[in-house]
């Protein structure tokens, strides 16, 4: 029977594409993958190529050449390319600050001091301060004493919603207002009852162990390779890596001390025996003075630099998943779980305050999930046992023994 390949229009990542559909066949799959430009979409669960008339004609000829029947009737109906919604770029904080009155500038400074007094992290203070800076600019024509809760609602509608801030940023904004209204202590200006929107729950992106090794192999720069090795083998956050000092490396005990990680907690993680020669080679070659990873002239290394070379290394390694430094941390945790390490130990190694945070890795670990029998397989197996295996079981319509 001739194998049918269906070509249909597909809009993917704001580009017009050709989706290539067929009933699973190993030979056909290999043949389709060999066509120039073919990629796999995890979102749409289909192979595809970018759409233009030349590519469509080449693909049609390529498939017919091997004897496949090509159904391209759907290609006569072109899909409209969705126009991406542009995200409004927020104004720069320096411009906002200059437009404030002297009283509002003084108020903002006092609020920042108030947050420092609560011993919040510098990152949190900076984030909360920016949202209140924007609010003060938004209400710059109003006196402080005239502020009411309705003005916060208006800010949420005209700034946070229209500029399409993420759910995470929205939650931070609500937290900022809870602190700010408490700080101001004005009657009728109260965000204490405001609810934070529910967190979006996404499964973390995880690389395979083979992909991790490949990623390090294609990264030729010694410093870059060391960074990847440390991020993965220690499950480090990018900030923890860049704050790591030479004195925190204990080669004798095969340990790395993470000082004041997220939540202002110290913790110990194991130092991979495999990475030790690489790490020593890097230290002898670059001779860092204080921090393990240093930029030019002993300055701090920037997170954007790490993201930049990591993106390039992924391209060289043929990794098409979206990868960030945190992906290596996710991969570390997932692989530990698949190796049978108790989740309580993984929680400690990652520095999570709550076990619920670590539990997300149980949804992506493959070790136990792959051994769960599919209920359809179990149903068919049970039926065959009941008839002593004398009769074949077909699940396709019209099939009989």
- Find where tokens 């710059």 sit: 140
- Tell which residue, 256, 262, 266, has the closest CA to residue 230: 256
169: Cβ contacts below 8 Å, ≥ 6 apart? 160
Helices (H), 91-166: 93-98, 102-117, 122-138, 149-155
What's the CA gap between 37 and 19, in Å, rounded? 12
What's the CA gap between 189 and 161, in Å, rounded? 21
Asked about 31 being catalytic, the answer comes back as no
Report DSSP state, residue 77. Answer: S
- 4-12/39-41 β-pairing: unpaired
What's the CA gap between 189 and 184, in Å, rounded? 8
The radius of gyration computed from the CA coordinates of the chain, to the nearest angstrom, equals: 28
Cβ-contact 50, 37 below 8 angstroms: yes
Asked about 262 being catalytic, the answer comes back as yes
Phi first, then psi: give them for residue 384, nearest 5 degrees: -65, -35
Three-state DSSP class for 15?
A: strand
- Catalytic member of 224, 237, 330, 335: 237
Cβ-contact 135, 143 below 8 angstroms: no
| Beta strands per DSSP E along 23-148 | 39-41, 46-50, 69-71
- Catalytic member of 329, 330, 332, 335: 329
Three-state DSSP class for 49?
A: strand
Asked about 352 being catalytic, the answer comes back as yes
What's the CA gap between 158 and 351, in Å, rounded? 38
Asked about 329 being catalytic, the answer comes back as yes
- Catalytic member of 44, 138, 262, 267: 262
Residue 188 vs residues 148, 158, 166: alpha-carbon distances, Å: 5, 21, 28
Q: Which residues are catalytic?
A: 237, 262, 326, 329, 352, 361
């Amino acid at each position: 029977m001739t194998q049918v390949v269906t070509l249909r229009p597909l809009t993917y990542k704001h580009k017009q594409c050709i989706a290539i559909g067929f009933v699973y066949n190993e030979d056909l799959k290999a043949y389709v993958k060999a066509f120039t430009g073919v990629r796999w979409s995890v979102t749409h669960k289909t192979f595809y190529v970018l759409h233009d008339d030349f590519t469509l004609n080449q693909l049609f000829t390529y498939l017919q050449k091997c004897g496949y029947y090509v159904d391209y009737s759907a290609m006569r109906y072109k899909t409209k390319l969705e126009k991406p919604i542009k995200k409004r770029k927020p104004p720069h904080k320096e411009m906002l600050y200059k437009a404030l009155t002297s009283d509002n500038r003084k108020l903002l400074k006092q609020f920042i001091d108030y947050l420092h007094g609560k011993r919040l992290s510098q990152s949190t203070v900076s984030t909360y301060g920016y949202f209140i800076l924007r609010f003060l600019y938004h209400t710059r024509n109003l006196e402080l004493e005239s502020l009411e809760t309705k003005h916060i609602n208006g800010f949420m509608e005209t700034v946070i919603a229209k500029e399409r801030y993420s759910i995470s940023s929205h939650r931070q904004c609500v937290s900022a207002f809870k602190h700010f209204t408490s700080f101001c202590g004005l009657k009728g200006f109260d965000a204490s009852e405001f609810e934070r929107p529910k967190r979006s729950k996404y499964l973390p992106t995880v690389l395979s162990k083979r992909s991790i090794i490949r990623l390090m192999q294609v990264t030729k720069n010694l410093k870059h390779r060391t960074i990847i090795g440390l991020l993965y083998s220690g499950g480090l956050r990018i900030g923890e890596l860049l704050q790591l000092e030479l004195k925190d490396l204990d080669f004798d005990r095969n340990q790395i001390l993470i000082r004041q990680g997220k939540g202002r907690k110290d913790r110990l993680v194991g130092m991979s025996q495999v990475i030790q020669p690489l790490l020593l080679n890097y230290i002898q070659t670059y001779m860092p003075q204080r921090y393990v990873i240093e930029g030019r002239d002993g300055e701090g290394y920037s997170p954007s630099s790490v993201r930049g070379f990591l993106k390039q290394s992924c391209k060289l390694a043929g990794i098409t998943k979206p990868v960030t430094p945190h992906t290596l941390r996710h991969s570390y945790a997932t692989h530990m779980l698949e190796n049978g390490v108790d989740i309580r130990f993984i929680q400690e190694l990652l520095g999570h305050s709550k076990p619920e945070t670590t539990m997300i890795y149980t949804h992506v670990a493959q070790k136990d999930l792959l051994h769960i029998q599919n209920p359809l397989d179990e149903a068919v197996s049970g039926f065959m046992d009941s008839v002593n295996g004398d009769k074949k079981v077909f699940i396709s319509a019209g099939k009989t023994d």
